[in-house]
Structures are given as structure tokens and as C-alpha cells.
Structure 1
């Protein structure tokens, strides 16, 4: 495709040793050459680097190294140039200005990657994986994003989609011979394929919970009565005085959020106001926000101590906020002050909550940091237990939703097949199944979806 030539800063804004400006488009070599004092880069070989100066008329702007990449063996498949300059924001602006004077325009967010997609260099899931690689903050998310960049999910889907496309073609052919009542597609073989597709789609969808955890982190709400030790626990986990600790009940009026990485996974700890009935308007807002955080958390840490709680109170709390997708960890705090019936207290809880509610009870002392490492191991094991046998892990909400629609379409095709629906209706359902599977790689998409995806990229990528 013949696009305008674009340019953008590819390195972060700010002062640094070096900066890089990218230029891409059919006229990239000519535009850069017009403001480059050195070799004639329109005549040099691809994938070579050249020393010289960027100039604005007779004025030298900076001493640079220019890397030349000729189409089609470039990221965008277009002629591309990268200019390495001394990392001054002022120099960056000056170079971009002179490039635009000579015919380039500023790139939009994600426009380089969008061109790579539009020109067939990568599919849509790989384009999204590029953003995930850039945004990865731990080893697990980097590995998953890199696997997607290499075509992980696309490869998983494309083989099955190709087989389904063959059957769809045969069904479409049957429509041309409707009056002769012939069948070109083996219904038994088609049903076997649909079963394989359903199994694969289910497996990929099951991996999303783990993928979402390693990509976006896990929300952990710290909950309990006032003065249960919630802020002390947050400080103990972070190993710093992040939250105010006081003997006065109700000190925490709003939520405090901090991120802690445990074995490569980001856990977003949310210290909340103590849950109790109150006439204080500000504290009441804090209690309401605490309940809102419980509703969105994946893990709930409920602190209690036997001096200020009864087993019935703890049980009542768990029953009030219980959800099937919520992991509840009961933290028996202040064990350094425990009474002799400590084990009896927890045994009552255990008997009352299990097996009806899946909970874990961990004795801790947030003050002297007893049991903190045990808690961290329990949090880490939560993520490990989300892993499935699937080698490809879904981390993208759009992919998950496309898989959901694909699975429903596949089930509709199975229904049409088993109930001997008319061939025209069967073909209709098959087309929908193919379309939803194609949404993942971008074979079927629209400008609104593309605009939303690439707008989230940084400019220069």
C-alpha cells in the first residue's frame, strides 16, 4: 500500500545518552537524504549504518548515525530509516521539524505497528503482543507476550479454522446443488472437528484467568474490623511504613493501594477502612469503598484476633462476601498475644467453613512479622494453581471475548448438525464460526476495533 511517510521519536521523552527517530514510507530514504550530510542513502545497501549530520538548510543540527532498511524486509515492510542522535529533547524536536519540512508527517499512536499489520507483516494478535511485550513488568508476562508475538494463539486457531473452512466450502457447494439433494461434506468428520474445536476453545478460555493474573496483577483486599492490624500487615508486606498505624480505631478512612511482586506476579494490595457500623460520615464512605473493593478483588485477606472477635463473627463475614471466584484467606492476627485457646478458635472456624466455603487459615503477627512468608507462599500458590496444561495462555480481553463468541458459534453449528437443520442454515452458522475465529488474528475486523487497539500504543511504535 502507498501510505504517507511518517516519523516519530521511538525512545522515551526526556534527556538520555541517545535518542532514536523512526521514519517509514515509500519516500523515507529520499526525505532523510535531503536533510542528511553524509553518504547518499538512496544509493546505499539495505541494513547498513552511516555516519553524518542532520541539517536544516546550512545549519547542522546534530551528529548522527543513520540506519537504512529497504522494503520489504523491514518492520512495516516499507522503506525505513532510524536516526540515532544525542538524547536531547530539543534536538529531537529540531530533527522531527526538519523531517516534516521535507515531506514526512508525525506518526499517530501505534501507526508503525498498524502498518505492519495492514501490510501483512504480522496479524492482529501479534500486533497486540508487541504492546504487551513493551508493557511486561515481570518474567512470566514477558514470556507469554513473546509467545503471542511468535504467533502462539494464531497458530493454535489457524489449523482448526483451516479445517473448518474446508467443510464450509463443501457445505456452500451443496447449496449450489440443493435440488439434487447431495452431500459433499462428511457430517461425521465435521462433528469430530467441531468436538476438537470446542475442546481447544474451552482450554484456551480456561487459561485466561492465569493470563490475566500475570499480565494485570491480582487485586488483594485487606479487610477486617477497625484496629485488626490491616495497616500493620500492609507495612509488613511492603517492608516500609506505607500506612499510618495507630491504636485509635478507624484510622484508615480511605483505601490505600500498593503493588508487591511475589515470584514475578504483581499483587495489588488494598488496605481498606475497618468494616463496622458508624455514624461518622467520612468513615462511612471508607467502609462503603471497602465493600466495593471486596466486590472486585480476587483474593480477600480477612484479619481477626481472638481478643476482639468470635468465630461466629468471622463466619458471618465470610458468608456475607463469599463468591465462587474469590479466594478467602483468614489471617489470625496478633498470635504473639494469643490466649491458650488459639487452636480451638481456629478449629471452630475450620469446621464451620469447610467444605461449604474454601478458605485458608494462617496464624500471623503483623507486628512482629510472624507468618508473613507463609502468607506470601499462599498468595503465590493461588496464581500457580490457575495454570492449565494449555501451552498458549490468553492474556487479552478481546481474545477472550472472541473465543467466547467462537465457542457459541461452534455449539450452534453442532446443534444444526445433530438436528439436521437445512443446509442453508448450517452454512450460515459455519460462516459465523469462521468470522469469530478470524477476529482474533484480524482476518475479520472493522476500523473501530483497529482504531481502539492501536490508539493504546505509544507513538513511535
Structure 2
């Protein structure tokens, strides 16, 4: 991607396809002049910023459409350049005709994410905030939208800014010491530097720990529904979704492959995965299904183990729990068909390990389904998410934070070992480099290309 900003770019900012309106965006030094050359109405070059004007777009004597033109004169715009947005009717023919006309007048087609790239290059926001724009567009739940919005407003880059500036100050003091190395002077107080690094590692450690929850909020929480054949797994999936999504049959082994659907609970997306029944497979296809079940369980963030209180014995239940239980994997035991066997507790209590969470339902009768949903939420999210919490959701940021932490630990070790200023300066520079990768203080063309190429065109 060519990161030049002296030209004017154009793209459709609304989704492709026929709609009521389409918004065509221009950004660059000649955006107003180019728009004005095809606009019949007021002279746009003489109008104030943040104003809207009605008129027509014409190609010579041919009127293409009646439009509204919005002016944003730089630096008071999204990109900090002159920006013009043309709201036209949503006909694909009209949209493409206007874009082709604007290109003939001197604009060029924007690349994916180029408007946001220009906003970053022009200092509108840092790189982590630019990435939050893409996350905000892609958000599909209240929680993911809130996390992306908080990051767009500054997020953890603002948390790190002050500490980073202090670290830069110490780095400059240590560099100064190198200039007076023969005089054996110490401009950077090692005790204060050590305390700063402790403060920084504490903040970074908290951010690193937040990634598990942040990634779950962003991507959705993998929730596997597992159990023996005919335990009611597919019926439970349908009950949770309140629709007939999975085939339900009394024939054991009906589900041969996984079925995945999304359920939103209190603003969090849970990716429900209905799996094949766990048993000794009777054929090769069922065996593949059972293997997939075990793979999904190993990748899950929450396991719902469903058992049929009408048929499974306490010993079989105990054996299943032992086979499926994995340390660190939250597991809910779901006793199904309690409408048929209401005294299930007395029968199964001896088989339940200490501390396990048991919830009783009737999937067919949709009994206690709302309680199960709340328990699913409480088990994974309750108490961990609040409106002011800063969460890391980007794997690139996580890796940079981990490398920063390692560099800071190395710096602390150097202070304790009383290494010379040149080695200490190298370790601090490395930590600052990785911190800079998060906010964009340190960038490469390859990094920017990789980030912004994933944006939609027009943003």
C-alpha cells in the first residue's frame, strides 16, 4: 500500500447493493474542488465546513442524480483532510456512474481502510484506536460494541501513555550518562526507575490477563453441548435458541456432525456447539463425529454436559464426568427430563464431584431454560465485565504487551545486577519499541498494510 496522502481518494462508504441511499466519500486536498466540478448548486469551494447542500451531480449536460453534499474542511474531519460525502439514491448504476465521474475529474479509488489509515497518519488517533474502528464495525453484540468503543476513545493506550513518557525520560537520562561515562555519574535514579518499571509491569500484566475475557467478548464464547446419544442435546439447543434448529429424533446417533449457532445472553454472544453423542461408535462416520466432539470440548470455554435422568446410571454419570472433566474448563452438568423423573437429586447426588454445578431442566418442555441461560452467563462473565473495564481484544496487542513485559523484567534484572548504562539503555529501548508498536509510535509499511488491508473499502 502506498502511504501517500497528497492525492484525493474516493469510495462508496455504505454497503454494496441496492438501498435507499448510498454515501460516496472523497478525502484529500482536492476533495472539495473535484466535488464542486460536478455539482450544480452552491459553489462548494465558498461554503463553510460542516454544512450540507442540495443540488445535482451532472456529467456534462446529463443529470446523474439529485444529491445532498456534506462538507468537512480539514483538519475538522475524520481524516483531517478535506472530506466530501455525497448522499445519492442507492441505485448501483447511479453510485458507479458518480464514482467513475469523480475519478475522471482527478480522484482515485481508495484502497481498503485508506480513509482510516489517513486519519492515523494525520494524527487523528493512534494505531490501537484505528484498529478499534474495524472492531466497532464488526461488533455484533452489546459487549463487543462497548469494548471497541472504549478502545476507540483511548482505551489502554491512554493508560500506558503517562508511564511510557516517564520511561522515555529515564531512557534519555541513561543516554546522557553514556556521554559522561568516563566521569562515572548517574543521572537516572535507579530506585525511581525500578519503581516505575514495577508500576508499568503491573499495568501490563493486568492488560495481558484481560485478553482471555476480551477475546471471548469479541469473538463469542465457545459453549459445547455434549453428552450421550439421546440425552437431549439437540432438543436443548432448540430450546435455548427458541427455534427448531437441530433435528430431534429418538434414534440414537442422529447428530453426526457439529451444529453451531449464536445465542446472545445479556449482551454477550455464546457460540453454542451441538455435538455428536459420546459412545462407542457403531460405524466410521459416527466415530468421526465423536472425535469432533472431543476436539470441540478441548477448544471450548464452557461445557454443558447433558445427561438423561431417565436412563443413565450414577456410575455411568460419574465415569462420563471423569472422562470429560478438564482443569480450568467451566462445566455445567445439565440434568434433562426432570419432568419425567422429578426425584433425580437423590439418585445422582453421590455421583457428583464436590463443587460441581448442577442445573435441572426439561428441554422438551422448556422447563428452567431461562435459569440455565443465566447460569451460563454467570459462570463465564458475572463479575468480570463492567462498563469501565479496559480489555485487550487484539492478538497483536497481546503479543506486543508480552514482549514489553519480558523486556521490562530483563531491565529489572539488569538494575539488580548493576549492569552498565549502555546495557540498561538497550533493554529500556526494547521495551519502548514494543510499547510503540501498540500505539503506532513504531510502525513499518508491512504492519500498516496488514492492519488496514483488513478494513472494508470506504472506511
Which band: TM-score by shorter chain? over 0.9
* Unaligned residue ranges in structure 1 (runs of 5+): none
Distance in 2 between the 1:128 and 1:389 partners? 20
Matching residue within 136, 139, 150 for 1:136: 139
1:200 and 2:203 matched = yes
Matching residue within 34, 45, 48 for 2:48: 45
Query: What is the deviation of 1:234?
Result: 0.4
Q: Residues 96 and 152 (structure 1 numbering): CA distance in 2 closer, same or farther, change over 3 Å?
A: same
Match of 2:360 in 1: 363
Query: What is the deviation of 1:14?
Result: 2.0
Match of 1:376 in 2: 373
**Which whole-Å deviations, capped at 9, do the CAs of 1:429-453 have from their partners, x for residues lacking one?**
1011111111111111222221121
With the length of structure 2 as denominator, give the TM-score of the two structures.
0.95
Contact 1:112 1:460 in 2 (8 A): yes
Contact 2:310 2:337 in 1 (8 A): no
* Unaligned residue ranges in structure 2 (runs of 5+): none
Distance in 1 between the 2:454 and 2:8 partners? 21
**What does 1:59-208 align with in structure 2 at a 5 Å threshold?**
59-208=62-211
Distance in 2 between the 1:153 and 1:349 partners? 46
Q: Residues 183 and 448 (structure 1 numbering): CA distance in 2 closer, same or farther, change over 3 Å?
A: same
**Which whole-Å deviations, capped at 9, do the CAs of 1:388-408 have from their partners, x for residues lacking one?**
897322222222222111111
Distance in 1 between the 2:72 and 2:337 partners? 64
Contact 2:51 2:71 in 1 (8 A): yes
What SS does structure 1 have at the residue aligned with 2:85? strand
Distance in 1 between the 2:446 and 2:72 partners? 31
- Stretch deviating more after TM superposition (320-329 or 233-242): 320-329
Contact 2:141 2:267 in 1 (8 A): yes
Match of 1:354 in 2: 354
Query: What is the deviation of 1:12?
Result: 1.4
Q: Residues 304 and 430 (structure 1 numbering): CA distance in 2 closer, same or farther, change over 3 Å?
A: same
Distance in 2 between the 1:234 and 1:170 partners? 62
Distance in 2 between the 1:410 and 1:205 partners? 14
Matching residue within 14, 18, 22 for 2:17: 14
Distance in 1 between the 2:403 and 2:317 partners? 41
Distance in 1 between the 2:447 and 2:86 partners? 32
Match of 1:435 in 2: 433
1:217 and 2:214 matched = no
Matching residue within 236, 241, 246 for 1:243: 246
Match of 1:395 in 2: 393
Contact 1:49 1:67 in 2 (8 A): yes
- How many residue pairs get aligned? The number is 455
Match of 1:343 in 2: 345
Match of 2:303 in 1: 300
Contact 2:230 2:253 in 1 (8 A): yes
What SS does structure 1 have at the residue aligned with 2:229? coil
**Which whole-Å deviations, capped at 9, do the CAs of 1:206-234 have from their partners, x for residues lacking one?**
22222222221111111011111100100
RMSD: 1.7
